[in-house]
Structures are given as structure tokens and as C-alpha cells.
Structure 1
Amino acid sequence: MYFLVSNIVLSLLMLIVIFSLVLIFRQFGEVYLSTGASIARDGLPIGTKLPEFNALNYKNGNIIFSQEIYNSPKPTLVAFVTPNCPACKDLLKDINKMVNKYNGRLNFVLFGIGYQPLQFDKIFKDVPSDVKLFVEDLEKPVFKNLNLRVTPFAFLLDQEGIIQEKGLCNTIDHVDSFYKSYESSKSTKINQKGVKVSV
């Protein structure tokens, strides 16, 4: 009897230790990923062109090419989301506000990572019709090819598909920051010494 009780107690203690370790590593990851240096390393570098890739149009299942994402006279915010990510759900709650605030100035694209149709049906159901919805083609995944590790992560692309801003993006404040930085960069240029100057 004593042997059985001690095994149960040890098993419970092991579960508590494992759960605690998971929480500690998760917290460490959040702290690391929230640092500016880490965000600067995630994703493709600012100033590079979004590489060519294929994806699937979520609404009709047709294959699309990366150029279709940013083929517009306006800049485009591409946000990568996953169905089970709480921060992604926060972003999706604000998507209507973002579309209304930047109507006519910014295109919005949501890019679902990991093809899970039923779960994407749930998170995409209230997304405005003028937001483009794409999902990763599992035969040609793009998430890792773009050097991304976490969601929601966004790129702000200009009309030629050049990355202007990037980073974690789960609130309208992040979108505001991307857009303000993009607008201010349009009014500056790099001089011969590599210093930004006003135009």
C-alpha cells in the first residue's frame, strides 16, 4: 500500500515539475521574442522583396502567387496567423477597426499558417470581405521560408513587395506604428553616408 501511495505522489510531483518547466520556458520565449533585437532577427530583413511563393485563396481554394498579395497601388499589411494562437484572436477582434481606420490607404491580408479548414472557418468568419484571406499550401510551406517563428507576425509591404516594416502584430496599435513608420520613411531618404535625411 505504501509503495502505491508513494508512486502516485511521485507521479503527481513529476507532473507539477513538468508543467512548471513548460511555463518557465514559455515565459522565457515571450520575454526573448519581445526584445527589439529578437524581432529584428525574425522575418526577412526590411528592404528585401517578398520572395515568390504559392498559397491558397481561402475563399475558393485557388492557387495564388505571392505577387497577388501586394499587387495594388496601396501598401499592404500581411499578417500571419494560426488558429490556436490567443494573440492572433486579439488581432482578429480588431481587424474591423483596422479596415475602417485605414480604408483607402492600406490593404489587409490575413495569411493562415497550417491548413486546418474547420479551425480557420471559426477565426475567419467575422473578417470583413475586403480583407484578403490566404492559407499556406502544405505542399509548399512558406512560414519557415520567411524566417518566421511566431504568430501573429506581420510585414508591411510597399507596392513592389518590398518589406518596409515587420514585427509582432496583435493590436491596432502595432498597425498604427507600422503605418506611421512607413509614412515617415517616405518623406526621408538615405544620403551617401547612410544617414536618413528629410526630403
Structure 2
Amino acid sequence: MTALIVSNVLLWGVVLALLLVVLALSRQIGVLYERVAPMGALTLDKGPAVGEAAPHFDLNDLLGRPHQVGYAGARSQLLFFVSPSCPVCKKLLPILKSVAHTERAWLDITLASDGEMPEHLAFYRKAGLESFPYLLSTELGMKFQISKLPYAVLMDEQGIVRAKGLINSREQLESLFTAKEIGVGSAQEWLERASVEEISRKENGNALA
């Protein structure tokens, strides 16, 4: 009987110890999540800056349809730079199609690249991208100073650049939309602002104490 009581006491001790460990780990995971915030699209400090007017282009797409870039209009425009030889670009194409559907009330998506027409036209048709204008222009990439792919530039209804960055996932693509909504150039800028505000609150709190 004594042995049974002792074993039960030890068992409950082990359960309580495990509970404390789980609580401690949960707290550490929460701290880690706060420190490692989800990253948005990485902005490269090149091309038209956020808040500046985008350069204007009048071009024909791969199918010969006239298309404009950077002009004021009724909807925002996402200029998405891709390449047939870019694996990440190909991975993002289904995401682009999904985003074009979910954000169709306010957003137009335009694909852009440079190179030889036959290669891009084959890529365009094989991927089923006919619903997107696809612009082939070296000057377009040079004006926006695109050096890495895939890269996206979001322009508002006035033709002003509102957000831009390298895109590797749906989350990074949608971070451009969030940046436009809250009035910052990128998720990184928002995180920096939040960090500065947090430091300022702590300093003010210490001063009052």
C-alpha cells in the first residue's frame, strides 16, 4: 500500500514537472515568434522609389494588344517581372492566377520580361497566361532597375509606386497589398516603425517610473 502511494506521488510529480516544462516552452515560442516576425517582400533600393510616379510606357503585349504602364486609371496595377527560365516564377504562376481572381475588384496584374519572342510566347501559352498582358521590353526592366526575379511593383490608381519587392511566396506578394493599405513602402518598413515605437514606449514608461 505504501509503495502504491509513493508511486502515485512520484507520478503526479512527474506530471507537474512536465506541465511546467510545456508552459515554459510555450512562453519561449511566443517570444521567438515576436522576435522573428513574418517577412514581407524584400525591397531593393533601386528604380522608382515608393511614393514616386512610375515611368509611363505604351507597349503591345505578346498577343499584340496595346497596354499602358504607370498611367492613372480606375484600378491599381501590379507589374510582375518573370522569366521562362526562373523556377520560382513558375511556382508563383498559380498564385498569381488566384490573386488575380480574389483581388479583381481593384487590381490589374501585368507580366513583364525581356528576351526573344518565341521563347516567351511558348512559355506564355504553355502556362495558360493569356488572361494576363505580357510585356516584352528591355527598357521597362531598365527603368524599374530589375536585377533579380521574380520582382513585383505595385502602383496605385494615380500611377504612384506604393510597394515593391522580391517575391517568393503568396505571403510576400500579399505583403505589398498590406503595405499599400497601411501606407508604408514594405513590410520591413512597417516592422522598423513598430520596433521604434516599441522602444519609444518603453523609454517613456521608464521615464515615468
User: Normalised by the shorter chain, which TM-score bucket?
Assistant: 0.5 to 0.7
Aligned equivalents of 1:50, 1:123: Cα separation in 2: 27
- Which amino acid is the alignment partner of residue 108 of structure 2? N
Aligned equivalents of 2:170, 2:108: Cα separation in 1: 14
Aligned length: 146
Which of 149, 168, 171 pairs up with 2:169?
171
Unaligned runs of 5+ in 2: 1-38, 185-192, 194-209
Cα shift at 1:159: 1.0
Cα shift at 1:54: 4.4
Which protein is richer in helix relative to its size? Answer: 2
The TM-score with structure 2 as length reference comes to 0.60
The TM-score with structure 1 as length reference comes to 0.62
Change in 2 beyond 3 A, CA 1:65/1:181: closer
**1:133-169 CA distance string (max 9 Å, x none):** 2111x5xx22122222111111000012110000012
> Aligned Cα RMSD in Å?
2.9
Equivalent in the alignment of 2:17: none
Cα shift at 1:107: 1.0
Pairs within 5 Å for 1:152-191? 152-185=150-183
Q: Secondary structure at the match of 1:49?
A: coil
Unaligned runs of 5+ in 1: 1-34, 187-194
Aligned equivalents of 1:134, 1:152: Cα separation in 2: 15
Is residue 167–residue 173 contact of structure 2 (8 Å, CA) maintained in 1? yes
Aligned equivalents of 1:119, 1:93: Cα separation in 2: 20
Equivalent in the alignment of 2:15: none
Q: Which moved more, 1:84-93 or 1:153-162?
A: 84-93
Q: Which moved more, 1:143-152 or 1:47-56?
A: 47-56
Is residue 54–residue 161 contact of structure 2 (8 Å, CA) maintained in 1? yes
Q: Secondary structure at the match of 2:174?
A: helix
Please tell me whether Structure 1 or Structure 2 has the larger radius of gyration of its CA atoms.
2
Identity %: 21
Cα shift at 1:48: 1.1
Cα shift at 1:71: 4.7
Q: Which moved more, 1:162-171 or 1:142-151?
A: 142-151
Which of 46, 50, 56 pairs up with 1:46?
50
Pairs within 5 Å for 1:103-114? 103-114=104-115
Find out whether 1:66 has 2:69 as its counterpart: yes
Pairs within 5 Å for 1:25-174? 39-60=43-64, 64-67=67-70, 70-114=71-115, 116-125=116-125, 126-136=127-137, 141-174=139-172
Is residue 111–residue 134 contact of structure 2 (8 Å, CA) maintained in 1? yes
